[in-house]
Amino acid sequence: MSYQTPRGTYDILPQEMKRWHYVEKVIRQITKKYRYQEIRTPYFEETKVFKRENDSSDMVNKEMYTFDMGKDSYTLRPEGTAGVIRSFDQHKLYGSMELPVRLYYLGAMFRHERPQKGRQRQFTQFGIENIGAKSPELDAETIALGYDLVKQMGISSIKVLINTLGDDESRANYRQALKEHFQPHLEELCSDCRRRYEQNPLRILDCKIDHDQDCLHKAPRLVDSLNEASREYFSRVLAALDALGIPYEVDDHLVRGLDYYTHTVFEVVSTRPDSGAQATIFAGGRYDHFVEYYGGPDMSGIGFAIGMERLISLASDEGFDFGKDITCDAYVIGLGDVSLEVLKMAQELRTNGFIVEANLLPRSLKSQFKSADRHEAKYVIILGEDEVKNGRVNVKRTSDKTQVTIVRQELIKQLESWDKDNA
């Protein structure tokens, strides 16, 4: 019997890990520059952390992995923000950390949806949350962090789509305008949109099934429902993006797939022709009442999330160089009954900071040299029974075939000297 990964999951094989390690390194470098600190939350939470009252999102209504343990219901996390805000409130970080609190997360998420390119049932997500302050300039800075990351990964074929959902008053006005507009067309809409009509009619504009319907194209524009304060806030966000030199396109129909957003929402998408339906690289927005929902004070926040798989795939498509695999500093060859001495020498080298492969199998000298070549070892150390007896060792520098015989105590010094020559 041959076992396979569950549908919608995948293995990351050793030869692919260098790309993941590279991106994770870049993420930690960039978040450090922007003064974000890492937070790690559980892979599952109480279901009510994600399933909030009257939530119209597909993620909550269709895609969550939920299981019961006795009287308790738990859900594998489908996104990162809810758990971070729950933790922010539970541990009262608003009282122990300077505001705004800048947090980032990196880990697995789970959604039960149809697997396709760039979309899996288990996926890895990087995200940031900037909590406890509200300003248009912070919104622009948040977008800038993600924009920097994408650019640093060599992805140039991108554009920023941005919109505003306005404040509570503006949203209420727009919801009413949409309900009046769509009421005569309910029978033309899919079952999901008929549900969204009652829960959150803004989400109808984001429907992938009804997007070609004439009633969607003729829907009222949100900008017409904005009050003066919301217009001014959005105008300042755009001015801040202009100041940072980040190009953008205002998209009136951009509402995002989660219900908790207010004011600024944005998506950064790939403009490559082959990106298809999964063009979004990262997306997010501001939320004004999320902290309060979990029992904290009335605080605003803003964040975004990036799917790591999609980021790595797009970077690869654009020919980005993720660097070479880790090379081998030294390969220890053993001749005769010297396996314990080979083991001890390899460990001594590792203790002194060298990356080492040691032959601990009964193999010929020729096969051991071939193995050293495959590992691209910079130095080959040859240890036979005579060398062990005399306290000496043969060392070969593969770059120029230089070979010396030295006393064993001088080995570390010799390799460090050659390293200096190569620097």
> For residues 101 and 70, what is the distance between their CA atoms, to the nearest angstrom?
36
Q: Which residues pair with 159 in a beta bridge?
A: 269
Is 256 part of any known ligand binding site? yes
At 84, which helix (H) or strand (E)? helix 81-90
Is 276 part of any known ligand binding site? no
Is 368 part of any known ligand binding site? no
Is 80 part of any known ligand binding site? yes
Q: If 0-12 CB within 10 Å is exposed, 13-18 middle and 19+ buried, where does residue 399 land?
A: exposed
> For residues 152 and 27, what is the distance between their CA atoms, to the nearest angstrom?
10
Which tokens sit at 379? 């130095």
Query: Could you write out the DSSP letters of every residue in 9-57?
Result: -----GGGHHHHHHHHHHHHHHHHHTT-EE----SEEEHHHHS-TT---
- CB contact set of 337 (below 8 Å; sequence gap of 6+): 385
Is 121 part of any known ligand binding site? no
Task: Give yes or no for a contact between 366 and 333, defined as CB atoms under 8 angstroms apart.
Answer: no
Sign of the alpha-carbon dihedral angle for 291, 297, 302, 303: negative
Beta-strand pair 330-335/379-384: parallel
Which tokens sit at 64? 């969550």
Is 79 part of any known ligand binding site? yes
Which amino acid would we find at residue 336?
A: G
Which tokens sit at 169? 């008053």
- Inter-axis angle of helices 136-152 and 17-33, nearest 10: 150
> For residues 183 and 190, what is the distance between their CA atoms, to the nearest angstrom?
13
Which amino acid would we find at residue 119?
A: R
Task: Give yes or no for a contact between 297 and 195, defined as CB atoms under 8 angstroms apart.
Answer: no
- List binding-site positions for L-histidine: 79-81, 111, 125, 129, 256, 260-261
- List binding-site positions: 79-81, 111, 125, 129, 256, 260-261
